[in-house]
Amino acid sequence: MKTILPLLLALFVITSCTQNSKENPVSEVAKSNKTDEGGAEFAIVIHGGAGTILKKNMTDEKEDAYRKILEKAIRTGYEILKNGGTSLDAVTKTINIMEDSPLFNAGKGAVFTNAGTNELDASIMDGKTLNAGASAGTTTVRNPIDLARAVMDKSPHVMLSGKGAEVFAEAQGLEIVDPEYFYTVNRFNALQRAKEREQIELDHDDKSAFYDAEIKDFKFGTVGCAALDKDGNLAAGTSTGGMTNKRWGRIGDAPIIGAGTYANNATCAVSSTGWGEYFIRAMVAHDISALMAYKGLTLKEAAREVIHDKVGGLGGDGGIVAVDKNGNMVFEFNTEGMYRASMNDQGELTIEIYEK
């Protein structure tokens, strides 16, 4: 009897512990997901595209222009968050600033298709509700991120495309412009060079096989933003003009929820920039969140695994910006540079372009 009692007691303890672990898997994941101490009450992070961005190809004037617009954009979102605004509003208004700049491949600076048009894509996601909105292939909506937001807020759908999306945008009172609004000399000239060589230039990079020594500016800047507000709600958004010389209605990762954009209050908010086909195949934005939720990785660990091991392993390149539920922010990319900026609740600003 003396031998049996200790055995029964041990069996009871083991059974109880096993049962508790099955009943509370989320709390265990939450504990393991507590990232670096010193997170922020609110935070915002942005990107303007990742690719072969080399200082030797950048004039001081051009670098200054990029830094100024990145600062203007992120301060716009920061002020919204500081004043108690929502992460969704911060993401939307921040991306608006970058969409209105011809420096980035989004909105005003969108690249040209093979047909000589500009077809724009965007998406946004609410980490609190998991609601999302996206638009693809529009040619007349000035700010595609506003359309994505309207799809999320004012329709029962997640994604609208083409003419139907434009009709919806007009019905919602969004600003409609003549397609000529998106014309910029630099983007049009890039199309001519691409057509002359019968190639497709990536919207974020020039792969070595597509190298053109005459092109000095190797950035192709899809834009994106991820934010955490004072109420603990996360949001992310992405906007792009896609791929220079794209054909047949090609759509990349930017408007695809889970690939280009993802947000979940339980984990993180992510915006992607890269070779879209690979980011879709790897479901980059969602995979980072999933690794945090199911594997217990930190945001940094999850981002590194996805960008370097998974996307890189497939042969793709690009990067992400992200913020987790504790306000920790991450830039992760496997290219030679990424236009990026961040601000925390202390007002500390970081703006970077090149690989460190």
Write down the pLDDT at residue 53.
Answer: 82
Q: List the strands of the sheet with 268-274, edge to edge.
A: 261-263, 268-274, 318-324, 329-333
Q: How far apart are CA 279 and CA 335, in angstroms?
A: 14
Close Cβ partners of 340 (under 8 Å, ≥ 6 residues apart): 45, 46, 47, 48, 70, 321, 331, 350, 351, 352, 353
Q: Mean pLDDT lowest for which of 117-126, 165-174, 187-196?
A: 187-196
pLDDT of 333 above 90:
yes
* 3-state SS string for 20-54: HHHHCHHHHHHHHCCCCCCCCCCEEEEEEEEECCC
Domain ranges (residues) in the chain: 43-354
First-to-last CA distance in the chain?
68
Please report, as a single letter, which amino acid is at residue 339: Y
**pLDDT surpasses 70 at 14:** no
Is pLDDT of 38 > 80?
no
CATH number assigned to the domain covering 43-354 = 3.60.20.30
Residue 200 is predicted with a pLDDT of 53
pLDDT attached to residue 198: 59
d(CA 173, CA 154) in angstroms, rounded, equals 12
What tokens appear for 35 in the block?
Answer: 């990232």
| pLDDT (tens digit per residue) in 292-330 | 999 999 999 999 999 999 999 999 999 999 999 999 999
Q: Is 222 a catalytic residue?
A: yes
The partner residues of 235 in beta bridges, in order of sequence, read: 126, 227
State residue 22's pLDDT score. 32
Alpha carbon distance 348, 119 (integer Å): 36
How confident is the model over 129-149, as pLDDT tens digits?
A: 999 999 999 999 999 999 999
pLDDT range class, residue 191, cuts 50, 70, 90:
very high
Mean pLDDT of 99-118: 96
pLDDT of residue 74: 99
Q: Compute φ and ψ for 344, nearest 5 degrees.
A: -110, -175
Q: How confident is the model at residue 110 (pLDDT cuts 50, 70, 90)?
A: very high
Question: CA-CA distance, 221 to 88, in Å (whole number)?
Answer: 22
| Distance between CA atoms of residues 218 and 56, nearest Å | 11
Strand partners, 136: 161
Give CA–CA dist 278/213, Å, rounded.
26
Q: What pLDDT is recorded for position 39? A: 74
Q: In this structure, are residues 220 and 201 in contact, taking their beta carbons and an 8 Å threshold?
A: yes
> Is 8 a residue whose pLDDT tops 60?
no
Residue 85 has pLDDT above 70, yes or no: yes
| pLDDT per position as a tens digit, 194-227 | 888 754 545 445 443 343 433 333 345 799 999 9
Q: What confidence score (pLDDT) does residue 212 get?
A: 42
- Name which of 10-24, 75-89, 224-238, 242-256 the model is least confident about: 10-24
pLDDT digits (tens, 9 = 90+) for 253-293: 999 999 999 999 999 999 999 999 999 999 999 999 999 99
Residues 6 and 223: their CA atoms lie apart, in Å, by: 63
User: Of residues 94, 222, 261, 335, which has the active-site annotation?
Assistant: 222
